[in-house]
């Protein structure tokens, strides 16, 4: 493996995602972990899923389940759940699938997208890292935990996991736009589509690539947590 890469909560921010992929240029030698919450909030969930499906043809990828994907899958199962999902991002998500951008209808989501979302995993481990959407309980092995925590637990008072592995997660939005780096745990949900940034962490290089909906790009040094060089704006 060349690079171990992780992208935080995308939330339908296609402009940010396209630019991030263009800048990071993941290859067949890399491993790219998508930390979940690909959907909801932003303008183009459908475009984001299409892009990731295309990318997966060339790049080894792992997809993790976010709490928003859990909402979406529940909505698919049951008409009533679909109603409450509308208040938590379902409407923006489904409008991105509507041919006229008018009618939020779950029937417009194609099978290929359901198949991808249904395949999302609870967590992913390497020898040194744990990747998860929400958080993990610090004192329990992963295979003994209630999977709800993996999608819902917040990045608050985070203790090292008993495995000694570094935990890399999304879910708890960092309003500053800068990842939270405790060394034993890093949160890279940097508030995309709400005036923040979309982050791709290059784990071994200890840098983070960031883009936003204004098509800005910057690189953070994960040791000093400062921006390296000048910010670029794409025309």
Positions that interact with Mn ion (CB under 5 A): 9, 37
Compute the distance between CA of residue 189 and CA of residue 170 in angstroms, rounded to an integer. Answer: 4
Nearer to Mn ion, 17 or 30 (CB): 17
> Which of 13/30 has CB closer to Mn ion?
13
Nearest approach, Cβ of 33 to Mn ion (angstroms)? 15
Smallest distance, Mn ion to C-beta of residue 26, A? 22
- Nearest distance in Å: CB 58, Mn ion: 26
- Cβ atoms within 10 A of the Cβ of 121, count? 15
Distance from C-alpha of 191 to C-alpha of 171, rounded to nearest angstrom: 9
Residue nearest to Mn ion (CB): 37
Q: Which of 26/89 has CB closer to Mn ion?
A: 89
Smaller CB separation from Mn ion, 30 or 37: 37
Q: Which two tokens stand for residue 175?
A: 């309003």
Q: How far apart are the first and last CA of the chain?
A: 33
Residue 230 CB, shortest distance to Mn ion, in Å, is 29
Sign of CA dihedral 24, 173, 96, 150: positive
Q: Least separation, in Å, of the C-beta of 45 and Mn ion?
A: 13
CA distance 184 to 62: 21
Contacts 24+ apart (CB under 8 A), 171-178: 171/9, 171/35, 171/36, 171/37, 171/66, 171/67, 171/133, 171/134, 171/135, 172/134, 172/135, 173/9, 177/210, 178/220, 178/225
Of 12 and 26, nearer to Mn ion (C-beta) is 12
Least gap, CB of 9 to Mn ion (angstroms)? 4
Rank residues 30 and 174 by Cβ distance to Mn ion and give the closer one.
Answer: 174
Minimum separation from the CB atom of position 29 to Mn ion (A): 29
Two tokens, residue 14: 């296609």
For residue 199, give both structure tokens.
């982050």
The nearer residue to Mn ion, 26 or 196, going by C-beta atoms, is 196
Bridge partners for 4 per DSSP = 31
Q: Is the dihedral of CA 5, 46, 172, 162 positive or negative?
A: negative
């Amino acid at each position: 493996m060349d690079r171990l890469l992780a992208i935080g909560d995308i939330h339908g921010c296609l402009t940010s995602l396209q630019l991030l992929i263009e800048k990071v240029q993941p290859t067949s030698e890399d491993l790219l972990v998508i930390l979940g919450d690909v959907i909801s909030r932003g303008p183009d969930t459908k475009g984001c899923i299409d892009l990731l499906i295309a990318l997966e043809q060339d790049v080894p990828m792992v997809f993790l389940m976010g709490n928003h994907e859990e909402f979406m899958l529940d909505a698919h199962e049951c008409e009533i759940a679909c109603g409450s999902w509308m208040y938590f991002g379902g409407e923006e998500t489904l409008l991105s699938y509507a041919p006229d951008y008018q009618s939020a209808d779950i029937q417009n989501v194609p099978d290929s997208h359901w198949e991808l979302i249904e395949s999302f995993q609870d967590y992913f481990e390497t020898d040194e890292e744990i990747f998860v959407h929400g958080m993990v309980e610090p004192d329990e092995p992963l295979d003994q935990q209630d999977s709800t925590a993996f999608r819902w637990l917040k990045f608050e008072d985070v203790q090292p996991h008993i495995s000694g592995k570094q935990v890399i997660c999304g879910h708890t939005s960092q309003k500053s736009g800068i990842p939270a780096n405790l060394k034993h745990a890093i949160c890279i949900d940097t508030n995309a589509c709400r005036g923040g940034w979309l982050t791709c962490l290059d784990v071994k290089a200890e840098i983070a690539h960031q883009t936003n909906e204004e098509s800005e790009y910057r690189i953070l040094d994960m040791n000093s947590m400062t921006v390296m060089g000048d910010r670029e704006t794409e025309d």
